[in-house]
Amino acid sequence: MPATVASFKIDFYQFLSPDGRLVGDAAPPLAKDFDELRRLYRLMVHTRTFDKKAIALQRTGKLGTYASCLGHEAVHLAIGSAMREEDCFAPMYREYGAQFVRGVKMSDVLNYWGGDERGSDFSGPKHDFAWCVPIATQCLHAAGAALAYKLRGEERVAVTVVGDGGSSKGDFLEAINAASAFHLPLVLVIVNNQWAISVPRSKQNHAKTLAQKGVGGGLPSIQVDGNDVIAARWAMEEAIEQARSGGGATVIEMITYRLSDHTTADDATRYRDSEEVDAAWKQEPIMRLRNYLLQAGEWDEARETELEEEAVAAVNAAVEEYLALGKPPLESMFDYMYAELPHDLAAQRERALEELK
């Protein structure tokens, strides 16, 4: 008879049902911390209002290609709000909610997607990484930061995210291996929004979960309802505390849904059924948290109206700041590439300035 060498399981966590009710009897303290839940709800609404405005700016030629975060708000706010200022965040390209809670300004995000490298010199922690469009390379950046913290003996944690499609990239798997081999203070979040641009989760990988990819590296790995901000925040806090206290890395698969196109250069109606999207809207995170607060008597229509007006005002102010900055100088297309320009690019820079004159 063969002996079992190893076995594993992946636990799934959800504390808030799609209709906004607490489920089970083991909800974390956050479920009754209504001050913090209202803060998270406000940030989620601000983020969605910003997202809608950014798409409108792109459609009217005032912004470049933009990656929407519609439907991801709970995941992103859970990540950002669970981190300390001294921790390091290595994002992909749509984690605006996480960045907003860490001090990045809305106008910084608009500057970046407007093609202005000044947007990458954003407000907030200077040790956070900028947006990363190459798929999954940010996971290795985070692993490197985590290794530095360990070598220096600093109680800091690196956090990174990757999509369901990006979790198939070697960079992500190599980051898992490094985190395991070096016992790194790292949290790797798979934001499983069901679609890698036009490729559905069902065609990407036939494993029952994506979280189990961490098991191959010997990392504790769980799956969480990413539309449940209570569960998502709890999972992040647990993983970050484990990493900070020397317990090593964790992989968390957050299950959510990309309610938008992949970017404004995409048209998801060409490959996605409307019935699927309609069903996903019934699971979305903002409505879920709002229903919970309403049922608990911790929210009302007056507060909702005030919040909507507040969010619109904040976003409009950010747009004005972005538009007032003006176009970046021509030479900036060269100046942010190297510490010292190679001779051929230096010559191009001079020629471009001469032609501008």
pLDDT digits (tens, 9 = 90+) for 219-274: 999 999 999 999 999 999 999 999 999 999 999 999 999 999 999 999 999 999 99
Cα distances from 199 to residues 78, 196, 205, 270, 272, in angstroms, run: 26, 5, 11, 12, 10
Q: 93, 262, 288, 322: which one is catalytic? A: 262
Which whole number is the average pLDDT over 196-217?
95
Which whole number is the average pLDDT over 283-312?
98
Question: Which of 115-124, 166-175, 336-345 tops mean pLDDT?
Answer: 166-175
Cα separation of 83 and 229, whole Å? 15
Q: Is 271 a catalytic residue?
A: yes
Question: What pLDDT does residue 349 have?
Answer: 95
Which whole number is the average pLDDT over 283-287?
98
Per-residue pLDDT of 72-127, as tens digits, reads 999 999 999 999 999 999 999 999 999 999 999 999 999 999 999 899 999 999 99
Domains of the chain: 12-326 (3.40.50.970), 330-357 (no CATH)
Which whole number is the average pLDDT over 35-39?
98
Whether pLDDT at 181 is above 90 = yes
Residue 19: pLDDT band with limits 50, 70, 90: very high
Question: What pLDDT does residue 25 have?
Answer: 81
Q: 84, 271, 336, 351: which one is catalytic? A: 271
Whether pLDDT at 336 is above 90 = no
Question: What pLDDT does residue 222 have?
Answer: 98
Whether pLDDT at 327 is above 90 = no
Question: What pLDDT does residue 105 have?
Answer: 98
What is the pTM for the complete model shown?
0.95
Q: 76, 102, 258, 288: which one is catalytic? A: 258
